[in-house]
Amino acid sequence: MKAIIPFKKTNAKSRLSGILSVEEREKFAMEMLKDVLKVLLEYGIDTTVISTEKLDFDLPGIEKVVDNRNLNECINDLIKKMNTPLFIVMSDIPLIQKRHLEEMVKMDKDVVIAPGRGGGTNVLFLRNPSRFRVDFYGTSFLDHIKIADSRNLSVGIYDSFFLSVDIDEVEDLAELLIHGKRLSSEYIKSVGISLRIREGRVGISRSKSRSCLNHE
Amino acid sequence: MKAIIPFKKTNAKSRLSGILSVEEREKFAMEMLKDVLKVLLEYGIDTTVISTEKLDFDLPGIEKVVDNRNLNECINDLIKKMNTPLFIVMSDIPLIQKRHLEEMVKMDKDVVIAPGRGGGTNVLFLRNPSRFRVDFYGTSFLDHIKIADSRNLSVGIYDSFFLSVDIDEVEDLAELLIHGKRLSSEYIKSVGISLRIREGRVGISRSKSRSCLNHE
């Protein structure tokens, strides 16, 4: 069993630029990546981080590969001859737990999709990767089902709120503040980000100075 | 076992007013309610819809009660002497499935919470309602955990993407178009709402006339 995590560091998480400076966003993206990697290591799986530039961290058991091609091209090239079961895991889903991976494998399907909001695919499990091709971007959830159907592969939908939470927008940080207990949630708290409740609805605010924002 | 569904018809789903007229929103809210009720009936559970005004539908097995108090006051009054296990189910979670209810009961906890986005509680299961009090609004997910802890009740968090999807904002309609297969998704398609994919991201558009919008 293997896992691939695509990762982008430079100008990471640009939709958070209203609340985090470019340096903070890069740091935050890295903390989320570490949260995800920790779960994969705990599960005991051979993991490769594929990033568009060299990454300056070292974790035992984690391979790093630099690849500048777009996500689909890069992954499809990797999987075309791969016959070991494979997880493709997004790097911005820090609420992932080990049991999610165990349960996805146990579903006993050729392809298992954990949906993200807005038609995304946040975790994809391929029992025989060479029989599949990925199509991230757009409604990848629907596209991945179509691709599996067209290749006579059985499909399971893994229904998890925690896997559906990818952190892209400012409001997504609320999920991390409410449900997170690891590096990435500690990091956003450390820069002064907290929940703000107004008229019964939950928002996000930042108390500490954001002087770094000028660096963007 | 019993279930309560709070429901508001008049000017329902006001945050959808950019895309649906007031009549359409009320109709849509009703279709979502019916989707939820169908699942509760399938599960074979005594269900009461509590609404702020008289509702003009009749479904066998569904009791209707009119109550003008706020949600917490109304539910806490109802449960204070109730010793039968109870589900409290939001009416705007049309992706609910029967297995969700079965699995929540099987968790064997005093209190089981299915979180919504933004700290909400979309389904709450109380094994002994009289020992609990609800606090919807704000971060009810966190509040319900605190209340259970303070009363020495065991808590389970039921991790479901489909239960986390409550339809409040225009962008939430995407989830219904992608994952929905029942009355409420058919209804929004019938008024011309569809997915719009631009630059790899998913949005919502409406093709047909919206003359009714002027009635607001």
For residue A122, the one-letter residue type is N
CA distance A17 to chain B (A): 18
What integer pLDDT is reported at residue B215 of this predicted model? 41
Per-residue tokens: B213: 């919008």
Provide the CB-side half-sphere exposure for B187 (13 A, CA).
19
Residue B6 contacts A, CB cutoff 8 Å:
no
Q: Do B175 and A200 touch (CB under 8 A)?
A: no
Please name the member of B119, B163, B179 whose beta carbon is closest to the beta carbon of A174: B119
Residues B193, B186: Cα–Cα separation, whole Å: 10
What residues of chain A lie within 8 A of the CB of B139, using their CB?
A: 178, 195, 197, 202
Is residue B63 pLDDT above 60, yes or no?
A: yes
- Which residue on chain A is closest to B198 by alpha carbon? A138
Q: What is the pLDDT of residues B143-175, one digit of tens each?
A: 999 999 999 999 999 999 999 999 999 999 999
Helices A22-43 + A183-190 axis angle, to 10: 160
The CA distance from A58 to the nearest CA of chain B, in Å, is: 32
Residues 113 through 142 of chain B touching chain A, CB cutoff 8 Å: 114-115, 117-119, 137-139, 141-142
Q: Choosing among A123, A179, A197, A202, which should be mutated to test the B contact, i.e. which has the most B CBs within 10 A?
A: A202
In whole angstroms, give the CA distance from residue A173 to residue A100. Answer: 21
CB atoms under 10 Å from CB of A18, counted, come to: 11
For residue B55 the two structure tokens come to 């509702």
Q: What tens digit of pLDDT does each residue of B39-48 get?
A: 999 999 999 9
pLDDT above 90: percentage of residues in chain B: 87
Residues in B touching A142 (Cβ below 8 Å) = 178
- Going from N- to C-terminal start, the domains of chain B cover 2-164, 172-215
What's the pLDDT at A20?
97
Average pLDDT over residues B1-21: 94
- At A214 the pLDDT is 41
Strand partners, A50: A6, A65
**Predicted local distance difference test score (pLDDT) of residue B112:** 98
Query: Is B2-164 assigned to CATH 3.40.50.720?
Result: no
> Do residue A202 and residue B119 have CB atoms under 8 angstroms apart?
yes
Please report the ipTM that was assigned to this predicted complex. 0.94
pLDDT tens series, chain A, 216 aa: 999 999 998 889 999 999 999 999 999 999 999 999 999 999 999 999 999 899 988 888 899 999 999 999 999 999 999 999 999 999 999 999 999 999 999 999 999 999 999 999 999 999 999 999 999 988 999 999 999 999 999 999 999 999 999 999 999 999 999 999 999 999 999 999 999 988 878 999 998 655 444 443
- Residue B199 confidence class, pLDDT cut points 50, 70, 90: confident
Nearest to A162 among B159, B175, B201 (CB): B159
pLDDT of A210? 58
CA angle at A122 for the pair A188 and A18, rounded to the nearest 5°? 35
What's the mean pLDDT when you consider all of chain B?
94
Residue A18 backbone phi and psi in degrees, to 5: -70, -20
C-alpha closest to that of A93 among A155, A130, A40, A136: A40
Tell whether B162 lies on the interface with A, counting CB pairs under 8 A.
yes
Provide the whole-model pTM.
0.95
Taking 60 as the threshold, does the pLDDT of residue B213 lie above it? Answer: no
d(CA A109, CA A100): 15
Is pLDDT of B216 > 80?
no
How much is the pLDDT for A209?
59
| pLDDT given for residue B201 in this prediction | 83
**A-chain residues within 8 Å CB-CB of B195?**
119, 139
How many CA atoms within 13 Å lie on the side-chain side of A162?
17
Q: Which ranges in A70-168 belong to alpha helices (H)?
A: 71-79, 98-106, 140-150, 161-164
